[in-house]
Amino acid sequence: MTFSQLRRTFTSALLMTAAAISAHISLVSAAESDDPEMVIHERQEGFKNMGSSLKSMRFELRADTPDYPAILKAATTIKTEALKIGDWFPEGTSTDSDYDTDALPYIWKNQAKFNKMADDLVKASEAMMAAASSASATEEQMIAIKDACSACHRSFRED
């Protein structure tokens, strides 16, 4: 294993560890909150993180020489945030509430479909993480993540 490969592997492991710690801290704070506004804020921030990560991934994949550790970091962030989705939608935090949110009540009426779509996003991000770790990430894998996001938005988000 060359020094460059070793450094890339170490960097990837370090990024994944940091993401796991961050996920744990955020999960605990959202899950323990009884404040709907706090939960809504955390989910909106989580979705912004995913959107920024997707843009970063797109930028890297279109570069002449993609930065695969950056792609791995972006995919890891998406997975970390996607794993929290189930905790971000307690009852009473939809557009039917008085809170500033785009979450449609359809989420709570179709929880199984909603959870499956969140799982699809986790799987798509895991596939990208595996590909980025081996420097074989492709734009098609990034599109699979984008499509998982879009499918959920079409069903469950007021635009």
Of 39-43, 100-104, 106-110, 136-140, minimum mean pLDDT range: 136-140
Q: Is residue 3 part of a domain?
A: no
Q: Is residue 18 part of a domain?
A: no
Q: Is residue 28 part of a domain?
A: no
Q: Is residue 16 part of a domain?
A: no
How large is the average pLDDT for residues 80-109?
92
Report the alpha-carbon distance of residue 157 to residue 106 in Å, rounded.
Answer: 9
Report the alpha-carbon distance of residue 62 to residue 2 in Å, rounded.
Answer: 26
Containing structural domain, residue 107: 36-156
Residue 106 CB: number of other CB atoms within 10 A? 16
Q: Is residue 49 part of a domain?
A: yes
How large is the average pLDDT for residues 29-56?
88
Q: Is residue 20 part of a domain?
A: no
Q: Is residue 67 part of a domain?
A: yes
Number of domains in the chain: 1
CATH number, domain of 96, equals 1.20.120.10
pLDDT of residue 1: 62
Of 31-35, 36-40, 105-109, 136-140, minimum mean pLDDT range: 31-35
Q: Is residue 8 part of a domain?
A: no
